Amino acid sequence: MGSLSDDRKKRDEERRIAGLKKEIQDLEVELKEYEVAKEKVQNAKANCNTEVTSWQETVGKFAQKEIKQPDVFEGEMANKLETYIDDAKEENDKGIEKAAELVTELGTQIDKINEKISFLNNSIDYKRSLI
């Protein structure tokens, strides 16, 4: 039969371990949330990259088109269409630029999420080492 002091120490140790396990469980839940968020940001970045590529291809196609065509678009109408196409190209270029900036910002966000994931993993490992 153990002494009262030994029983208390044993209960205190069990509480300490239970507390650490709860902390680990909470950290693992938070870690999963960050991993889900990271996946969503990575998907958004990939989609944005795809759009940028698509827009760049569209601009390339426009650049190869000749608006003034005999017996189809000539004179004032051709000039209006050419202006319209030039304006569309300019807007598309701005969109490409902004989308590329967004891709960069999403990459930065992924880096920050990775830092948090690393921190959480280190915290979990440390807590486990205390058990």
DSSP codes joined into one string, 54-84 = HHHHHHHHHHT----BTTTB-HHHHHHHHHH
- The DSSP bridge partners found for residue 69 are 73
The confidence score (pLDDT) of residue 58 equals 76
Confidence band of 88 (pLDDT split at 50, 70, 90): confident
Domain assignment present for 70 = yes
Q: Higher pLDDT residue, 61 or 6?
A: 6
CB–CB of 30/127 below 8 Å?
Answer: no
Give pLDDT, residue 63: 65
Pairwise CA distance, residues 27 & 106, whole Å: 24
Spatial distance between the Cα atoms of 42 and 54, rounded to a whole number of angstroms: 18
| pTM, full prediction | 0.75
Whether 14 is in a domain gets the answer no
User: Is 26 part of a structural domain of the chain?
Assistant: no
Residue 22 neighbours by CB under 8 Å, 6+ apart: none
**Full domain range(s) for residue 73:** 39-129
pLDDT of 62:
66
User: Residue 19 falls within a domain, yes or no?
Assistant: no
The pLDDT tens digits for 34-84 are 999 999 999 999 999 998 888 888 777 766 666 555 555 567 777 777 788
Note every long-range contact of 99-107, with CB atoms under 8 Å and residues 24 or more positions apart, other chains counting: 99/48, 99/51, 99/52, 99/55, 100/52, 102/48, 103/45, 103/48, 103/49, 103/52, 106/41, 106/44, 106/45, 106/48, 107/45
Is residue 16 domain-resident?
no
- Answer with the residue of higher pLDDT: 19 or 5: 19
Q: What is the pLDDT of residues 8-36, one digit of tens each?
A: 999 999 999 999 999 999 999 999 999 99
pLDDT at 72: 58
For the chain, how many structural domains are there in total? 1
80 in any annotated domain: yes
* 113 found inside a domain: yes
Least confident of 55-59, 109-113, 118-122: 55-59
Domain-embedded: residue 67: yes
